[in-house]
Amino acid sequence: MKEFGVLSIWLLIYLFLLQSSSCAEDLSVVNPCCSYPCQSSGVCVRVGVDGYECDCTRTGFSGVNCTVPDFWTGVGLWLKPSPTTVHFFLTHFQWFWAIINNSFLRDTIMRLVLTVRSDLIPSPPTYNTKYGYLSWESYYNISYYTRLLPAVPEDCPLPMGTKGKATLPDPKVLAEKFFRRRKFRPDPQGTNLMFAFMAQHFTHQFFKTKHDVSGGFTKALGHGVDASNIYGDNLERQLQLRFLKDGKLKYQLVKGEVYPPTVSEVPVHMVYPEGFPPEQRLAIGQEVFGILPGLTMYATIWLREHNRVCDILKAEHPTWDDEQLFQTTRLIIIGEIINIIIEEYVQQLSGYLLDLKFDPSLLFSSRFQYSNRIALEFCQIYHWHPLMPDSFLIDGEEIPYSQFIYNTSLLMHYGVEKLVDAFSRQPAGQIGGGQNSHEVVLKVAEMVIRESRAARVRPFNEYRKRFNLKPYTSFYELTGDTDMARGLEELYGDIDAVELYIGVLMEKTRPNAIFGESMVEMGAPFSLKGLMGNPICSPEYWKPSTFGGEMGFNIVKTSTLKKLVCLNTKWCPYVDFHVPRNEEEKKPKEPTTEL
């Protein structure tokens, strides 16, 4: 009996060890989709425990991993020039582009630019953070940012899939080592602070991340250009900001000039430091715009433009009530924004010699969906804080950050004209290449990295492949700098484990360009799809009656940054998204109202 008892104990131990071994074997099975085996935008579907299938439908490829091109896909790949070749061609041969810009071929090439870029963005949207597969929730729930690629599967052995180190680098270490500015490096394309503040003002109507909740949620009710940064993102805020007469917005007069009202006059929620003077708390559509005078400057300009357009419409349509005047003016303002962004802002970013053109009718014969969802990846890569300088030069005075941030009094002290002139003349920083972010904005970079990890954003190279770019094979190929390459390799271990935001910011810049290849090839499709996917660009909207007749339609079609400023100021300063190009522009000018 004693021997039988001992035997039973040993049998139980054996069975326990066998079961433990079996469990260990189950746990050791790695989700095969963690290695991202499906290429060419194929979708990885896990089959069984350790198997997978790649859905290559409509990719133009076949094979186990969607790597075998169909005949016509292969021909297209063979004929298609590389992004580097295309960029070189678009930024050189000025004589050639001078001919194109003055011929019917400009429309043809512009149509090609729009369709090729926009076709890279899926519509309707596909994924969100919660679901790594297509679901009704991903489409219907607009409280999420959409996603171009699904999240890194939760059951992967490593943070970025199957490559890299078990622990990702400390965001603070990354920011200090690779983002902190050593010496201000101006953008070689000549981008200025007028551009930098427009970038912030423009994007904050649709980039409104819900930072207190992880998972890629947005506070924005709209997913595109809706001018909510001017009018507020909900009806209650809009009504508080409106004068409710003649379609106009509320304002205050300071020394006879129009500025946004104070919060005491219009009690909307605004973010200001505790103890901030009540008379300096301006009420604006976007609650955070009191932080920088460059943003309150743009808020003032758009406020004046809205009320100016209302006067024009009222004179044209004396029978219209307040609501119709307001709503039609808002459509005109949205049109002006998109026109200026495409023809001047994107033009400046691209460096193209092709004159970009805002003409929605170019797409009317193409398959195009007039809807948009802001993608988490777009929000991530659009954090361009290296644009910010070391200090701000206004009317001969140097103003440090300590006297610039949350100082709305600068707007009234200098006036819109002097701020525009100063910001148009001061160079902005180069975005790409790393080590060019002022210490004041490093915390933002750390926040972006943390939010990227919380949302399990896929590696940088996976996005390179998604946008038809060759993945980098080494850290030096990515950065072009030996020291930075060595530092990144030490922290990440494998080039395929580099995070998206780190990749686009650390990528070597194109020659004499503001950033590298990836930012252009990834950002442009998101941007152009969002701009041209706006309802006002659709055949149903793009006609004179939408904008109150030919006069309103013409305001949209002929809008420029210079007109926006100079029609709303006492004198016309130097205004552009580019620092002065010639000696005449560099000279201070006497006040003038010439356009």
Q: Catalytic amino acids?
A: 204, 382
For residues 446 and 595, the answer to whether their CB atoms sit within 8 Å is: no
**C-alpha count within 13 angstroms, C-beta hemisphere, residue 563:** 15
The DSSP H or E segment spanning 258 is: strand 257-259
Q: Which long-range contacts (CB under 8 A, 24 or more apart) does 549-555 make?
A: 549/316, 549/317, 551/312, 551/316, 552/309, 552/312, 552/313, 552/316, 552/328, 552/332, 555/309, 555/312, 555/332, 555/335, 555/336
- Looking up tokens 């199957």 gives 162
Q: CA 247, CA 309: separation in Å to the nearest integer?
A: 9
Q: CA 52, CA 36: separation in Å to the nearest integer?
A: 11
For residues 357 and 107, the answer to whether their CB atoms sit within 8 Å is: yes
Return all residues near 269 (Cβ < 8 A) that are at least 6 apart. 237, 287
Secondary structure (DSSP) of 425-468:
HSBPBP-SSSS-B-GGGHHHHHHHHHHHHHTTPPBHHHHHHHTT
Q: CA 387, CA 519: separation in Å to the nearest integer?
A: 14
In this structure, the number of other CB atoms found within 10 A of the CB of residue 355 comes to 15
In this structure, the number of other CB atoms found within 10 A of the CB of residue 28 comes to 8
For residues 479 and 508, the answer to whether their CB atoms sit within 8 Å is: yes
203 φ/ψ angles, rounded to the nearest 5 degrees:
-75, -20
In this structure, the number of other CB atoms found within 10 A of the CB of residue 583 comes to 7
The DSSP H or E segment spanning 532 is: helix 517-532
3-state SS assignment for residue 339: helix
The DSSP H or E segment spanning 88 is: helix 83-90
For residue 406 the two structure tokens come to 């949350």
The residues with which 242 forms a beta bridge, in sequence order, are 249
**C-alpha count within 13 angstroms, C-beta hemisphere, residue 103:** 9
3-state SS assignment for residue 227: coil
Residue 132's nearest CA partner among 37, 35, 46 is 46
